[in-house]
Amino acid sequence: MPDAHAFLTNLALILCVAAVTTFVFQRIRQPVVFGYLLAGMIVGPHLPIPLNVDAQMVSTLSELGVILLMFGLGLEFSLRRLAQVGATSGFVALIDCSAMALFGFGAAQLLGWTLLESIYAGAIVAISSTTIIVKAFAEQGVKGRFVDLVFGILIFEDLICILLIAALTTMSASGGVSAESLLVTAGRLGAFLVGLIGLGLLVVPRLVRQVVKLDRAETTLVVSLGICFAAALLAVNFGYSVALGAFIAGSLVAESGESHKVEHAIAGVRDMFAAVFFVSVGMMIDPRLIAQNWVAVVVFTVVVMSGKLLAVTVGAFLSGNDARTATKAGMSLTQIGEFSFIIAGVGLANGATRDFVYPVAVAVSAIATLTTPLFIRAADPVSAWVDRHLPRPLQTFVGLYGSWIERLRRTPVERSTQLLVKRKVRWLVLDAALLAGVIIGTALERDALSARLVRGVGVTPTVADLVVLAGAALVAVPLFVGIVRMARALGMLLAARALPREDEKRLDYAAAPRRALVATLQLAIVALVGVPLLAITAPFVPFGRAPLLLGLVLTWFIVAFWRSTTELQGHTQAGAQIILAALGRQMAPGTEAATSPAAADAQAPKPAAAALERLYKVVPGLGDPVPVVVPPASPVAGRSLADLQLRSATGAVVLAITRGPEQVLLPVGREVIGPGDVVALAGTSEAIEEARRILEKGA
């Protein structure tokens, strides 16, 4: 049995070398993925080490690793889990993946790569690594609200990855792109997904629940893997990747509610074949190709680190997170990993990319991953530095924006308003879809339409081409204007919910904060629609024109946003003066009692809080100001606001400080906190609670 002996020899060599390298990487506290990659390089054909294994056999085994990895990913993905992570993570993931796909495509075009290679490059740099993030967070003991945000983003990015793999596999197999092929491909994929998911939901969850009731681990393992490989085989027979079928199988099993038991049953098998997959990735790394393409490695490393930091941070902030949480999330996701390898492998296997793209992707992942722990550790000081150097109007806006979004989320929605919002969202999506269709259709059928005009009307090819472009512009411009107008209308509608006008006949005290919120929501909506639209249409339009157009639109919104934040600063200053006067009146009767620290601590907050609650109607938009008394024994007494980093650490804004007859309006960082001070805070409820803990206990 020479074949069996060769198989055993190769498998033993792979696992023994991988065991040694992963043990070493565990000892030096590095991701074990890189141990597997090093093992692959050792047993691969590109290093002068006499331990070569059969590449064909390893490739077959690695396919099993891909299937099991994607099945395990599907087990973590269910409709319930999607609802838990919420729209916030989906918003950030869509902005991040779209922006990174655009950055990666542009970088590849500048490097002279082919169109299809550039599309693959955008997909490769779009997806962050779940495995590496989980490992880094566990090793550093990272906790906090931003961890939930990061994992929510990763869940949505994994889902986007599945769609990318399906689209790229079909595109590579067809060898080209046309309007007809795009429509046929989208229709076939939709029919396949609807059929498989629809039938699967009727059978798989019930079957899994019945199997789990038997309480036999081996039966659970065999049935689960049977479902996994059957779905993968079905996907291959319909012309899609095994990853798509395995992922759907995992998500169907997850709908049974028994995914944790199934995951426990398959964990050992999955981990072994996943190790073989990463070893196969290492075998394809040719150090000579990396050396020859070092410019591409450097360029894409910079694109991944800077692009993801910017896209995730901005997206997380626009979705309502404070600046500190958004910055930490952005600095945690500055890497690519296992799914980038799978996408690169799809391109190489289908002949869509040249052989240097794969090792470049692995090298970029390695460099970015090694810096991930450093980025995570630097997140707090970097966010504090950024907060200190923001202009004062932006500091005020950053502190209040989260409270507006919080108020928007918890405000009850009238049915009429809800229907109006849904109708505007539908029009927005329709305009964006039609605009994408016009752009892609014109790009793909431009020559054919021009030729028809030449034959039918008798004009010159140049005139025919201009007529086609002019016709496309006549259709596209109203759609583009409709997107901008609908974004503004939707922003105004949402802002009116968060900061309503109390009385049409009286002075509108909420005008300034509402204008700032409208400008920000407009910017967020245009980015949410425009960046994915740009990423989808970028391969079909002349490079640089579409980003320039979107950049001009965003610049216009940014200018409006800056003006609104400057106006907001004046509104906040006026509000802080009113708050100081109210606090002074409430504290005046207790001045004598305030000399007693216990009395000040016990009595001051109640009347002050009541006064601030009444004042919210006069000075709306300050996030429900809350007074906090600094106890005499507080560890923060005698320290400055800059030393405490109260705003950057919590997201809360200090509107005013009252200490006896002395009153400080919008205090700066050098202001020192004293015992018995009454500090008026604004921001989200969570930010205020964190700031209260710091002021009272120094926690």
Q: Three-state SS string across 3-18, please? A: HHHHHHHHHHHHHHHH
User: Rounded CA gap, 492 and 476, in Å?
Assistant: 25
Q: List all residues 6 or more positions away from 94 whose beta carbon is below 8 Å from its beta carbon.
A: 156, 160, 528, 532
Query: Does 299 score more than 90 pLDDT?
Result: yes
Confidence band, pLDDT 50/70/90 cuts, at residue 302: very high
Q: List all residues 6 or more positions away from 480 whose beta carbon is below 8 Å from its beta carbon.
A: 435
> 161: part of which helix (H) or strand (E)?
helix 145-174
- Tokens 């941070």 -> residue: 313
Q: Mean pLDDT throughout 189-205?
A: 84
User: Rounded CA gap, 680 and 653, in Å?
Assistant: 8
Query: Does 56 score more than 90 pLDDT?
Result: no
- Tokens 């997140």 -> residue: 379
Give pLDDT, residue 456.
Answer: 79
Q: Is 681 helix (H, G, I), strand (E, B) or coil?
A: strand
Burial class (CB in 10 A: 0-12, 13-18, 19+), 591: exposed
Query: Does 628 score more than 50 pLDDT?
Result: yes
Confidence band, pLDDT 50/70/90 cuts, at residue 173: low
The amino acid sitting at 18 is: A
Contact predicate 168/120, CB 8 Å = yes
Q: Mean pLDDT throughout 104-115?
A: 89
The amino acid sitting at 134 is: V
Return the number of other C-beta atoms located less than 10 Å from residue 80's C-beta. 10
Name beta bridge partners: 680: 627, 656
Domains 67-173+259-385 and 576-697 share a fold: no
Return the number of other C-beta atoms located less than 10 Å from residue 382's C-beta. 18
pLDDT tens, residue by residue, 200-240: 888 888 998 998 888 888 888 899 999 999 988 888 888 77
Return the number of other C-beta atoms located less than 10 Å from residue 261's C-beta. 17
Name beta bridge partners: 656: 665, 680
CATH 3.40.225.10: does it fit domain 67-173+259-385?
Answer: no
Give pLDDT, residue 301.
Answer: 92
pLDDT tens, residue by residue, 561-582: 788 877 777 767 666 666 666 6
Ordered strands of the 662-665 beta sheet? 626-629, 678-682, 653-659, 662-665
Write the DSSP symbol of residue 588. Answer: G
How many helices (H) and strands (E) the chain has is answered by: 27, 4
User: Rounded CA gap, 402 and 651, in Å?
Assistant: 8
Distances (CA, A) of 491 to 30, 79, 320: 45, 28, 14
Q: Mean pLDDT throughout 380-405?
A: 77
- Scored b (16 or more CB within 10 A) or e, 222-258 reads ebbbebbbebbebbeeeebbbbbbbbbbbbbbbbbeb
Dihedral sign of CA atoms 19, 22, 25, 27 in order: negative
Q: Mean pLDDT throughout 332-349?
A: 83
Return the number of other C-beta atoms located less than 10 Å from residue 444's C-beta. 18
Query: Does 432 score more than 50 pLDDT?
Result: yes
Dihedral sign of CA atoms 558, 559, 562, 563 in order: negative
Q: Mean pLDDT throughout 446-453?
A: 83
Burial class (CB in 10 A: 0-12, 13-18, 19+), 128: buried
- Scored b (16 or more CB within 10 A) or e, 621-643 reads bbbbbbbbbbbeebebbeebbbe
Return the number of other C-beta atoms located less than 10 Å from residue 58's C-beta. 24
Give pLDDT, residue 593.
Answer: 37
How is the chain split into domains, by residue range?
Answer: 1-30, 67-173+259-385, 396-562, 576-697
Q: Is 189 helix (H, G, I), strand (E, B) or coil?
A: helix
Confidence band, pLDDT 50/70/90 cuts, at residue 324: confident
- Scored b (16 or more CB within 10 A) or e, 543-552 reads eeebbeebee
Least confident interval from 154-163, 210-219, 602-611:
602-611
pLDDT tens, residue by residue, 500-530: 776 665 666 677 788 888 888 888 888 888 8
Query: Does 193 score more than 50 pLDDT?
Result: yes
Average pLDDT over the chain, rounded to an integer: 79
Burial class (CB in 10 A: 0-12, 13-18, 19+), 477: exposed
User: Rounded CA gap, 521 and 398, in Å?
Assistant: 14
Give pLDDT, residue 79.
Answer: 61
From the options 3.40.50.300, 3.20.20.70, 3.30.70.3190, 3.30.70.1450, give the CATH code of 576-697.
3.30.70.1450
Query: Does 666 score more than 70 pLDDT?
Result: no
Please tell me the number of Cα atoms within 13 Å of 74 on its side-chain side: 32
Contact predicate 290/359, CB 8 Å = yes
> Strands 678-682, 662-665: parallel, antiparallel or unpaired by DSSP?
unpaired
